[in-house]
Amino acid sequence: MQLDLSHAGTAVDAFICVLIGVCVSAVILWTLLKTGLAWQLATDIPNDRSLHTRPTPRVGGWGVVPALALAIFLYAPDFRLIAFGALLLGMISQIDDRRGLPARVRFAAHVLVVAAAIAWSTVDTAWWLALLAVVALVWVVNLYNFMDGSDGLAGGMAVSGFGFYAVAALAAQPSLAAAAAGVAGAGIGFLIFNSHPAKIFLGDAGSIPLGFLAGALGFWGWQHGAWPIWFPAMAFAPFVVDATVTLGRRLARGEKVWLAHREHYYQRLVQMTGSHVRVAVAYYLLMLGSGGAALTALHVPLAVQWMLFGAWYGALAMVGWQIDRRWRQFTLTQDKHNDAN
């Protein structure tokens, strides 16, 4: 599907989208906290698998999703269908946050919305490739949700990943840049309240739409020449690697991957360091490195692009190996300490 983007915005439009995202998201979330509605809508109660110790509202999506949708509707109208999909997933996920929904209902909603986005974005793509894209994007939707478990982490990935989307798309697809900028701005507004110690969590109503947008805008950008196919996976590489490796291990052990756990790299780092701040800073550095490397790779020959992509993922694999090694040492020390007591 070809779109006429000649009317779409400029760098100024992208900046305005950032401001809309920041202000609308922050005002909504501040209001929810100030009035006490945040605790009535959805509250996360700590359990033995949590990284936090006090009840915290998980209503970040109430601010993030309307803010980014408003920015897109005003300054990137060609992406209204994508924004509508994010709103729909946000509403379904809010029901799940409050009352709980069967996994099959959630999964069906993810597949239907993702399939619609792929069908709308596709340009002369083979059916089998479109099918693979649906599978990949459904995974991205869920991996973003899995990575929402430590203060400042998911919000930081939104600011970084969508920020690099905006920079990469600005010259060739300014409307796409404006849409991504609006999402990044909404992430900034959320981070005001989610930085440690977090006053609000993102919740499924925020993390599911953000994962959808990461995949949907990334796929659209590839289909319409904003960037190569590898770029979205590199811009969001810290989340992709952490979630994919962790869930792959759990699948290999025959575990139910949809159940809560504390085996992600970021969760183990928080347990080892006892600091959400240090873990967030470490991931922010990885996010900036991923996005910076992705932007740099856009300006070299295709073969070199793939070499840089592979090298960066190899570097992240080495980081993961180091975390695994230190985790084994940490658990061994903990076991010895428990035995001594």
| 3 state SS of 258 | coil
DSSP H/E element including 65 = helix 60-75
Q: d(Cα 5, Cα 175) in Å, to the nearest integer?
A: 7
Nearest to 199, CA basis, from 21, 24, 57, 65: 57
The enclosing H or E element of 25 equals: helix 11-35
* Vertex 42 angle, CA 47 and 28, to 5°: 130
Residue 205 three-state SS: helix
Annotated binding-site residue? 151? no
Q: Which two tokens stand for residue 100?
A: 């709980």
C-alpha 175/C-alpha 220 separation (Å) is: 12
For CA atoms 222, 226, 231, 237, the dihedral sign is negative
| Of 181, 182, 161, the residue nearest 236 (C-alpha) | 161
DSSP state of 79: G
Q: Is 48 annotated as a binding residue?
A: no
Q: Write out the binding residues for Mg(2+).
A: 145, 204
Q: Write out the binding residues.
A: 145, 204
